[in-house]
A and B are shown apart, each in its own frame.
Chain A
């Protein structure tokens, strides 16, 4: 099976997010960049499917040069090849444009299955996977927690939890899956894996290499415009519930929730 995994980097979830003075972006210094956690599930699942069905796992990353580190991590976990789609003109692109660049890189490769994370924990949009699938004219299976490939390698069966139930869905291949938490526990890269990763092929592609016009990318081409970034809305200050004993505190809390908050 030829499996492709798309990935990007996001600020580590511990990072303090500071809004830049232009209110259009966040301050980039002091950010620890890591592989988007949902993309990690995609890498791991691709590796498991290759272990079961044979084939090759290619990782396609998009972003600035530092994304190479996360591609190397995926190679260290066991992926076979990496491609970094990187270009100055890509900076500030919206999801549609990012997907266009990724789809162009993927089109050059053989694939049976493509994984993306269900969303990036930076913009929390969750659109790139669906857009890649649309551009490649293949079905998408989003928010998936289990994948099985049929014996003949021509179809898959997946599970998607929705509110209160789990759907079991089959699809023809090729297809694109967006990985949801619960799909697997990603492995840690081993030391031998890290050493091997240094020798695995990692190619870099610019927009020009992919036959794309830089005018279709970047801030000027955005269809989703950021008006401003603000800190989260402040909640009114809360109160500490008084009482000498837990029983008194509980009684006071219940009373407040009933009379004041009106939720009990």
Chain B
């Protein structure tokens, strides 16, 4: 009988990524609902000392797979190891993060295990001993509540920055266990040959706590300097709507929206963005949405927590000055 909640931690270059704590916190809540244990699965090379980080978030056990072939991440190595562990231990629930790596891993892992997988979920619950996942579909125009049938473990990925991280309790610790697995070099068909870091200091939009975003109302690439000035003061990353990206004003990696990035910051400031449904798809789970637009009928005002009907070329520099008072 499948038992236990498992989460797959994500690390990069030996550092645990924040999403792992979101998963551990949510995993603990689900384990409590099931009356079962939480296991964190940690893969990497010389990574064992990082296992201790998870006890305070409620993990009962940390299963560590330590091998030089597990650094950096490759689909083949991780799917092979995790599927072996799953088959050996038979967890009931398996949650990963819907980061780029997480989505790549979860898809192939689910296929290897021949189980269903609910991707990019914004809420989880246990009903009748089964995982019930809520997730946006049609770019967030609808939400689907899904569950699993004849499918163990019940697998899902969590949208980054949505699951609440619990306050860590330093008095709690988890048992660290060395995972047993075999890895055949012949299985490893892909290789990471280079890692090119993006512009220094730029936080990826999917991980940013605050985002200031500009749309068609920016009128041209040179005007993004005023958004960058605001971003600098409040500690935000700068995003863009599809119009701005298609016009060549901003790189496509800055695009927030249905065919761009899905972001979930604490604060999203939309400047000169009308609020097309495709844009909303990319930022609707933001905690606080501010809209600055001179058109009072812009649809974005329907979604904003705070709307300012004003010319962004006046408002944004003024806001930058005002924000300095709260630094």
Tell yes or no: A206 within 8 A of B by CB: no
Report whether B289 and A238 are in contact in the complex, using a CB–CB cutoff of 8 Å.
yes
In order of increasing CB-CB distance, the 6 nearest A-B pairs are A130-B107, A250-B318, A134-B111, A223-B116, A224-B116, A246-B314
User: Min CB distance, B158 to chain A, in Å?
Assistant: 14
Size of the A side of the interface (Cβ < 8 Å), in residues, is 82
Given A19-B142, A160-B100: A247 and B189 interface contact (C-beta under 8 Å) = no
User: Min CB distance, A207 to chain B, in Å?
Assistant: 19
Tell yes or no: A63 within 8 A of B by CB: no
Which residues from chain A contact B319 at a C-beta distance below 8 Å? 250, 253-254
Report whether A263 and B287 are in contact in the complex, using a CB–CB cutoff of 8 Å.
yes
Contact of A227 among B117, B147, B306 (CB under 8 A): B147
User: Min CB distance, A243 to chain B, in Å?
Assistant: 8
The 9 sampled A-B contact pairs (Cβ below 8 Å) are A171-B191, A182-B252, A225-B149, A238-B306, A241-B306, A249-B318, A250-B308, A254-B325, A264-B326
Given A13-B258, A26-B138, A233-B143: A223 and B307 interface contact (C-beta under 8 Å) = no
Report whether B258 and A231 are in contact in the complex, using a CB–CB cutoff of 8 Å.
no
Which residues from chain A contact B193 at a C-beta distance below 8 Å? 157, 168-170
Which residues from chain B contact A229 at a C-beta distance below 8 Å? 137, 142-145
User: Min CB distance, B25 to chain A, in Å?
Assistant: 20
Residues in A213-257 with C-beta less than 8 Å from chain B: 222-233, 235-236, 238-241, 246-247, 249-251, 253-257
Report whether B306 and A232 are in contact in the complex, using a CB–CB cutoff of 8 Å.
no
Tell yes or no: B49 within 8 A of A by CB: no
Contact of B115 among A38, A122, A167, A223 (CB under 8 A): A223
- Chain A binding surface, main DSSP class: mixed
Contact of A226 among B146, B301, B306 (CB under 8 A): B146
Interface positions of B (Cβ within 8 A of A) = 72, 74-76, 99-101, 103-104, 107-108, 110-112, 114-120, 132, 135-151, 189-198, 202-204, 206-207, 210, 234, 252-253, 255, 258-260, 266-267, 277-278, 284, 287-290, 301, 303-311, 314-315, 318-319, 321-323, 325-326
User: Min CB distance, B268 to chain A, in Å?
Assistant: 10
Contact of B198 among A135, A165, A224 (CB under 8 A): A165
Tell yes or no: A186 within 8 A of B by CB: no
Query: Residue of B at shortest CB range from A173?
Result: B189
Task: Mark interface residues in A111-138 (1 if CB within 8 Å of B CB, else 0).
Answer: 0000000010111111101110111001
Report whether B307 and A240 are in contact in the complex, using a CB–CB cutoff of 8 Å.
yes
Report whether B198 and A166 are in contact in the complex, using a CB–CB cutoff of 8 Å.
yes
Report whether A223 and B148 are in contact in the complex, using a CB–CB cutoff of 8 Å.
yes
Report whether B196 and A140 are in contact in the complex, using a CB–CB cutoff of 8 Å.
no
In the complex, A222→B147 CA distance in Å?
A: 10
Given contact pairs A125-B117, A126-B119, A166-B195, a sample of 5 additional A-B residue pairs in the complex whose CB atoms are under 8 Å apart:
A139-B189, A161-B253, A164-B202, A168-B192, A261-B305
User: Min CB distance, B153 to chain A, in Å?
Assistant: 12
In the complex, A263→B287 CA distance in Å?
A: 9
Report whether A169 and B303 are in contact in the complex, using a CB–CB cutoff of 8 Å.
no
Report whether A264 and B111 are in contact in the complex, using a CB–CB cutoff of 8 Å.
no
Which residues from chain B contact A6 at a C-beta distance below 8 Å? none
Report whether A232 and B140 are in contact in the complex, using a CB–CB cutoff of 8 Å.
yes
Tell yes or no: A212 within 8 A of B by CB: no
Which residues from chain A contact B148 at a C-beta distance below 8 Å? 223-225
Contact of A223 among B142, B150, B198, B259 (CB under 8 A): B150
Task: Mark interface residues in A15-45 (1 if CB within 8 Å of B CB, else 0).
Answer: 0110100000010000000000110000000
Which residues from chain B contact A263 at a C-beta distance below 8 Å? 210, 266-267, 287-288
User: Min CB distance, B304 to chain A, in Å?
Assistant: 5
Which residues from chain B contact A161 at a C-beta distance below 8 Å? 100, 198, 253
Report whether B115 and A249 are in contact in the complex, using a CB–CB cutoff of 8 Å.
no
Report whether A37 and B259 are in contact in the complex, using a CB–CB cutoff of 8 Å.
yes
Query: Residue of A at shortest CB range from B187?
Result: A139
Given A13-B258, A129-B107, A170-B193: A230 and B145 interface contact (C-beta under 8 Å) = yes
User: Min CB distance, B299 to chain A, in Å?
Assistant: 13
In the complex, A182→B261 CA distance in Å?
A: 12
Which residues from chain B contact A162 at a C-beta distance below 8 Å? 99-101
